[in-house]
Chain A
Amino acid sequence: GAVVSQHPSWVICKSGTSVKIECRSLDFQATTMFWYRQFPKQSLMLMATSNEGSKATYEQGVEKDKFLINHASLTLSTLTVTSAHPEDSSFYICSAVPLGNEQFFGPGTRLTVL
């Protein structure tokens, strides 16, 4: 099956710093990738849709200047949390869509902002 990786799996940073999270499709090309965040004991909330070669589409209420998304190639999308604060601490999950109708999810990245 299709494999999606995320790096890092866990990151701890100081408040005010920026953190970059990578999402890679390892054995397929993905023109579309999605970024979700998940708070403890809650469901996944879609943050943005990332399309290769174009600007990401953000969901209502998600600050695009704070959560920078770059989909530079068909196998890589990055999410940068700029000037992170403790309230940004969360579990961030990406997914990738090869041709067809199924999303393949990465293992997630746990961000802890001190």
Chain B
Amino acid sequence: AQSVTQLDSQVPVFEEAPVELRCNYSSSVSVYLFWYVQYPNQGLQLLLKYLSGSTLVKGINGFEAEFNKSQTSFHLRKPSVHISDTAEYFCAVSRAGNQFYFGTGTSLTVIP
């Protein structure tokens, strides 16, 4: 079975500072990895995904994530955050076409 752990439930960071949101997963088979962002009262928006190939994945809004198989991690990073990045971020893992398993989410708050 797959599971996803997001260790940080809340991450406050000053505007223009770098940020890393951590995600670890457990799975006995190859999986696909995703990061989603959710703004208040809205659905999920895909930030980026890792399916195969290069372990460094670039997404929208300047975010990127690196797949580390040995550490079973898929941490999300951004070198300089903006106020508009304040949102809830979810890491998810799935196998092809099957249901997603979501982490508990990380609330990112960007402080002016």
Residues of A near B99 (CB, < 8 A) are 34, 46, 49
**B contact residues vs A (CB 8 Å cutoff):** 32, 34, 36, 41-46, 49, 51, 90, 94-97, 99-105, 107
**5 interchain pairs (CB within 8 A)?**
A43-B104, A93-B44, A97-B97, A100-B96, A110-B41
Q: Is the CB of B94 within 8 A of A107?
A: no
Count, A-B residue pairs, CB within 8 A: 51
**A contact residues vs B (CB 8 Å cutoff):** 6, 32, 34, 41-44, 46, 49, 91, 93, 95, 97, 100-103, 105-108, 110
Q: Is the CB of A43 within 8 A of B43?
A: no
A93-B44, A108-B42 are contacts. A101–B94 as well, Cβ < 8 Å? yes
| CA A105 to CA B105, docked complex, whole Å | 16
